Structure formats: structure tokens, C-alpha cells
Amino acid sequence: MSTLASVALVASALVVAGPQQVAETIPAVGPTGPMTHVATGLVFTEGPASDADGNLYFSDVRGNTIYKIALDGTLSKFLEDSQGCNGLMVDPAGKIIACQGGAKRVIAIDPDSKEITVLADSFEGQPFDRPNDLVLDRAGGVYFTDPGPGAVYYIDAERNVSRILSDLPRPNGVLLSPSGKTLYVLPSGAPDVLSYPIESPGKPGAKLVLCQLRQAAGAPPRGGDGLTVDSRGVLYLTQPALSSIQVVAPNGNTLGFIRVPEAPSNCAFGGPDGTTLFITARTSVYSVPMEAKGHILATAADAE
């Protein structure tokens, strides 16, 4: 990642720092080099998402802005007055799908015109509380979490909304396996990482506990925040309380930890070859080169 030469033109509060040494390398995962401080001076970063070319979008939730990091490292404001956008994902057509928490809705943003289309803003006549994170499936649907009521919802391709999970301990991060056959939910209110087989789009099966988040000694049990997945199905779970990302195999075994200078909120693969892990962490965004390659949403079936 090159330094952000144009960052001063974007916002004078943003600064760029140099690389920071990574202490641990996980076999067949990484990192393969030092962690780089991409940008700082933000308020609360979240929702990193890569497009098909490897450009990265991320939210500054409390700064009310979505930013874009281009492949040459240039940082720019993509959408101002974002109304609290949090989780983001780019669909195969290039539209940015966002949880617009402040407006209590899920939206699609045209990358060129910035035109906003509302995908859903209520369920059974009642507004959502504060949509948080989302993941797209190959059927054109959107799974998203709403931590306040402890629910996970599904918006199908015709924009019908169903509540598919309820009474969860503040569901936060949500993700599909590369095959789309497993739904993962990362609660912020409990240490269990939850897994559900997908029987058909928007139809999860019985809950399983994939693994538990590692806890700090003597601390009360804590959950996680956002997560991502690589092309082999390995999960990267952000652990704000430990200032780490817990790396977990598809069978639930913990492979190791990636330490982060600030408490991480979310992470996503990006870059030209999909092997750069971007980490949103409080006031900053970090990047680190990896051996693993991120999973990119496709319309054709992939192997698990």
C-alpha cells in the first residue's frame, strides 16, 4: 500500500503513519509482512468492503462519511452525510450495499451517481432499530443484523423482508461461507460464534456453536464485532477487547491471532490480488499483506 499523498486534500485531520512490525505469522495464512497504518484521525471506522478491482470502501460511522481507498493508495470521500452507514458490501454489479443505521434502513448506492435506493426500512410495518452489518448471497438477497432487537433479517431479490433469527445476544457481524451454504453470526453480547446451515436462501437450519472467542484473563465474557473469510473458508473474527483478530479454521479450531494497535471493529480482504487484509480499528485503518486470499462474492457456485 503506497502512502496517501492526496490525503491532505481529503481531510486535514487524516494522517498516515509508517509500517508496524507484526509479531506472529500463522502458517498458510500470514501475515507475510509488516502492518501499515493506512489512515488515522477518523472517529470510528467500520464496514470495510472491497470491489471486484480491489478498491476498498469503509465507513466512518460517527464521522458520517464513507471513504474509498483506491488501488494507488489514494483516499477520498465517497459519500458525505452517510446517516450512520456501518456495514458495507459491494455487489457483483458494483453497487455498494450499506446498513444505514442512522436512517434505520438497508440501501444500495450507485458508485458513479451516488444515487441511493432503499432496499428495506421495516419489517411487518415496524421500522428497524439500527441495521449494523450485512452479507450478500448469490440469489440477490441480503442478510443483515439488527443488534437492538437481537435479530437477523433477510431481504430477498424481490425486496421481501423476513426475520430469520431472533433473541440473539446483540448479533453484530454476519457472513456466509464461500459456498454460501453456512451462515455465521458473531454476537457482541456473548463469546459464542454461531453457525447455521443454509437450507435455501433466507432459510437457516439449526444453530451450532462453531467456536468461542478467546477471552482476556479475569475479564467478563465479551463478544466480537465484524468478520471476514478467505477463499478456503478460514474466518477472521475481530476481537476489540483483545485488540486482535482471531483466525479460525472452518472446523472451529483457532489457528492464531493477528494483533492490531487499536481495538479492531471489522476487516476485509482487498488490493489488486485480494491478499491485503484491511482492518478498521477505532480512529484508523490498517493494512497487512497476507498469504491467504480473500473470498470474492461470485454468481456461480464455488467449492466450500
The region of weakest confidence among 11-15, 63-67, 147-151 is: 11-15
Q: What pTM value is reported for the model?
A: 0.92
In this predicted structure, the answer to whether residue 217 has a pLDDT above a threshold of 90 is: no
- Identify the band that residue 8 occupies on the pLDDT scale cut at 50, 70 and 90: very low
In degrees and rounded to multiples of 5, residue 143 shows phi and psi of -95, 135
In degrees and rounded to multiples of 5, residue 248 shows phi and psi of -130, 130
In this predicted structure, the answer to whether residue 147 has a pLDDT above a threshold of 90 is: yes
End-to-end CA distance of the chain: 30
Using CA atoms, how far apart are residues 206 and 133, in angstroms rounded to an integer?
21
- Identify the band that residue 303 occupies on the pLDDT scale cut at 50, 70 and 90: very low
Using CA atoms, how far apart are residues 68 and 116, in angstroms rounded to an integer?
17
In degrees and rounded to multiples of 5, residue 277 shows phi and psi of -95, 120
Q: Of 62, 66, 64, 85, whose CA–CA distance to 75 is shortest?
A: 66
Average pLDDT over residues 3-23: 38
Query: b/e per residue, 171-184, with b = 16+ CB within 10 A?
Result: bbbbbbbbebebbb
In this predicted structure, the answer to whether residue 242 has a pLDDT above a threshold of 90 is: yes
pLDDT value at position 302?
39
Kindly list the distances between the CA atom of residue 184 and the CA atoms of 101, 135, 181, in Å, as whole numbers in the listed order.
21, 10, 10
In this predicted structure, the answer to whether residue 278 has a pLDDT above a threshold of 80 is: yes
pLDDT value at position 243?
95
In degrees and rounded to multiples of 5, residue 161 shows phi and psi of -110, 135
The region of weakest confidence among 54-58, 157-161, 215-219 is: 215-219
Question: What is the overall mean pLDDT for the chain?
Answer: 91
Average pLDDT over residues 108-134: 98
Taking the CB of residue 102, how many other CB atoms lie within 10 A of it?
16
Taking the CB of residue 193, how many other CB atoms lie within 10 A of it?
24
In this predicted structure, the answer to whether residue 12 has a pLDDT above a threshold of 70 is: no
Taking the CB of residue 250, how many other CB atoms lie within 10 A of it?
16
